[in-house]
Amino acid sequence: MRTTQWVMALLWLISGPAAAQVVTQLPRADKVVALTFDGCEAPGQPAWLDRGIVDVLTQQSLPYTIFATGLFAQRNKDELARLAASPLVEIENHSMTHPQHMERLSKDAVEKQVADADAVIEAVTGHRPTFFRFPAGNYDAASLAEVEATGHRVIHWRVPSGDPGKGVTAEHLAQWVLLNAKPGDILIFHINGRAPETAAALPAIIAGLKAKGFRFIRLDQGL
């Protein structure tokens, strides 16, 4: 083997082949977090954009990302179109119909979930999604590779806020998030009306994170 081949082989050993990977934290050591909000809607479960959350984020001029299903984007198209006009707001792909277990779908069905949602979101917002989040966070190696092959990076989280949980209060939600937030975290909440305390908790979460020295960035700024 020639020297250059040895070097190439060594580099491959060090870096490995490009492996499918779910992003659960931004690769940054400084005190930044990304706010993300899931707009989930499955067939027969109409869901509307939580205006209380939007109002808090808009008043404070904070950047954030909505992971919308295609169904949610269709139902809330006027408001999402308005939000998407702001450079602070990204609207990304959370599948077309929110199947709870995409790892049980065929390759064709996975690709269709991604492509259909892309088409709806692009029609509504004028922006083609580049990020994807699996419904309910469920995936396996095959479904992950299939989604990545569509050109999307898969973005999850390290610690969930648990904001759709039963009996969650705004106070406890804020305490939980402030206790757990670390530099580079991707914070996950819900903006589809299924997390009724999130809007009330956000001012304390934002103020608390700022007091700890955190800044807020968009996902694409952190990756």
CB of 215 to Zn ion, least distance (A): 26
CB of 193 to Zn ion, least distance (A): 12
The residue of the chain with the least Cβ separation from Zn ion equals: 40
By beta-carbon proximity to Zn ion, the closer residue of 99 and 135 is 135
Are the C-beta atoms of residues 94 and 121 closer than 8 Å to each other? no
By beta-carbon proximity to Zn ion, the closer residue of 9 and 136 is 136
CB of 140 to Zn ion, least distance (A): 18
User: In a 10 Å sphere around its CB, with 0-12 CB exposed, 13-18 middle and 19+ buried, how is residue 220 labelled?
Assistant: middle
By beta-carbon proximity to Zn ion, the closer residue of 135 and 184 is 135
Residues that bind Zn ion (CB under 5 A): 38, 40, 135
Q: Helix 198-211 and helix 170-180: axis angle, to 10°?
A: 30
CB of 17 to Zn ion, least distance (A): 31
Tokens representing 146 are: 């299939």
By beta-carbon proximity to Zn ion, the closer residue of 71 and 209 is 71
Cα separation of 126 and 149, whole Å?
Answer: 22
CB of 134 to Zn ion, least distance (A): 9
**CA-wise closest residue to 61 among 26, 31, 89:** 89
By beta-carbon proximity to Zn ion, the closer residue of 40 and 202 is 40
Q: Mind giving me the DSSP string for 49-82? A: --HHHHHHHHHTT--EEEEE-HHHHHHTHHHHHH
